[in-house]
Amino acid sequence: MDVNAAVAAAAAIAGVLTGVIAMLAFRFSEREQKRPTRTSLHTDPVLPPGVDTVLSVLRSSAVVLDEADSVVKASSAAYALGLVRGGKLAVEPMLLMARDTRRDGEIRQVELDLPRRGTGRGEALAVSARVAPLGSRLVLLLVEDLTEARRIEAVRRDFVANVSHELKTPVGALSLLSEAVMDASDDPEAVTRFAGRMQIEATRLTNLVQELIDLSRVQNDDPLEDAEPVRVDELVAEAIDRCRHQAGTKQITMASGGTADLRIWGNRGQLAAALGNLVENAVNYSPARTRVGIAARRVTAPGGELIEIAVTDQGIGISDKDKERIFERFYRVDPARSRQTGGTGLGLAIVKHVAASHGGEVTVWSSEGQGSTFTLRLPEAGAARDRAPHQSGLDDETGGPTDSSPYEPLPAPEVLP
Residue 352 has pLDDT above 60, yes or no: yes
Question: Are 234 and 360 in the same domain?
Answer: yes
Question: Are 317 and 182 in the same domain?
Answer: no
pLDDT of residue 311: 94
CB 65 within 8 A of CB 84: no
The answer to which of 67-76, 148-157, 340-349 has the lowest mean pLDDT is: 340-349
**Domain final residue, candidates 145, 164, 190:** 145
Question: Are 157 and 241 in the same domain?
Answer: no
DSSP state of 35: S
What residues are paired with 255 via a beta bridge?
Answer: 293
**Domain final residue, candidates 145, 178, 209:** 145
Residue 403 has pLDDT above 80, yes or no: no
Do strands 361-367 and 304-313 pair parallel, antiparallel, or not at all (unpaired)? unpaired
**Domain final residue, candidates 168, 192, 220:** 220
Output the pTM of the full model: 0.52
Please give the tally of structural domains in the chain. 4
Query: In this structure, what are the phi and psi dihedrals at residue 154, rounded to the nearest 5 degrees?
Result: -65, -40
pLDDT of residue 413: 39
Cα Rg of the chain, angstroms:
37
CATH of the domain at 109: 3.30.450.20
- How far apart CA 279 and CA 271 sit, in angstroms, is 13
pLDDT of residue 408: 45
Question: Are 383 and 244 in the same domain?
Answer: yes
Range of the domain at 84: 44-145
Question: Are 228 and 264 in the same domain?
Answer: yes
The more confident residue out of 375 and 345 is: 375
Question: Are 241 and 371 in the same domain?
Answer: yes
CB 284 within 8 A of CB 242: no
CATH of the domain at 276: 3.30.565.10
Question: Are 185 and 256 in the same domain?
Answer: no
pLDDT of residue 281: 87
Q: pLDDT-derived band of residue 4, with 50, 70 and 90 as boundaries?
A: low
Residue 277 has pLDDT above 50, yes or no: yes
Query: Which residues contact residue 47 at a Cβ distance below 8 angstroms, ignoring those fewer than 6 apart?
Result: 64, 72, 73, 134, 138
Other CB atoms within a 10 A radius of the CB of residue 67 amount to: 14
pLDDT of residue 7: 53
The more confident residue out of 161 and 1 is: 161
CB 204 within 8 A of CB 241: no
CB burial class (10 A; 0-12, 13-18, 19+) of residue 68?
A: exposed
Relative orientation angle of helices 147-183 and 188-220, to the nearest 10 degrees: 160
DSSP 249-315: HTT-EEEEEE-SS-EEEE-HHHHHHHHHHHHHHHHHTS-TT-EEEEEEEEEEETTEEEEEEEEEE-S
Q: pLDDT-derived band of residue 188, with 50, 70 and 90 as boundaries?
A: confident
Question: Are 158 and 105 in the same domain?
Answer: no
Residue 236 has pLDDT above 90, yes or no: yes
pLDDT of residue 238: 92
Question: Are 264 and 319 in the same domain?
Answer: yes
Q: How many helices (H) and strands (E) does the chain have?
A: 13, 14
Query: In this structure, what are the phi and psi dihedrals at residue 398, rounded to the nearest 5 degrees?
Result: -95, -20
Mean pLDDT, range 113-122, rounded to an integer: 64
Q: pLDDT-derived band of residue 415, with 50, 70 and 90 as boundaries?
A: very low
- How far apart CA 262 and CA 241 sit, in angstroms, is 19
Other CB atoms within a 10 A radius of the CB of residue 247 amount to: 22
Question: Are 233 and 312 in the same domain?
Answer: yes
- How far apart CA 337 and CA 270 sit, in angstroms, is 26
pLDDT of residue 321: 81
Q: If you average pLDDT over every residue of the chain, what do you get?
A: 76
- pLDDT over 70 percentage in the chain: 71
Mean pLDDT, range 125-144, rounded to an integer: 88
Question: Are 297 and 333 in the same domain?
Answer: yes
Residue 169 has pLDDT above 90, yes or no: no
CB 264 within 8 A of CB 232: yes
Report pLDDT digits (tens) over 194-233.
888 888 888 878 877 877 777 776 666 666 667 789 999 9
Q: pLDDT-derived band of residue 410, with 50, 70 and 90 as boundaries?
A: very low
Report pLDDT digits (tens) over 303-348.
778 999 999 998 888 888 887 788 877 776 665 455 555 556 777 8
* CA-wise closest residue to 305 among 230, 403, 394, 387: 387
* CA-wise closest residue to 115 among 77, 82, 71, 74: 82
Instruction: Please name the amino acid found at residue 407.
Output: Y
C-alpha dihedral sign at 312, 317, 323, 326: negative
* CA-wise closest residue to 204 among 231, 181, 177, 182: 177
Other CB atoms within a 10 A radius of the CB of residue 125 amount to: 17
Highest mean predicted confidence (pLDDT) among 23-32, 154-163, 345-354: 345-354
Report pLDDT digits (tens) over 44-63.
456 677 677 777 767 788 89
Question: Are 363 and 257 in the same domain?
Answer: yes
The answer to which of 68-77, 245-254, 308-317, 389-398 has the lowest mean pLDDT is: 389-398
* CA-wise closest residue to 261 among 296, 228, 227: 296
- How far apart CA 146 and CA 59 sit, in angstroms, is 12
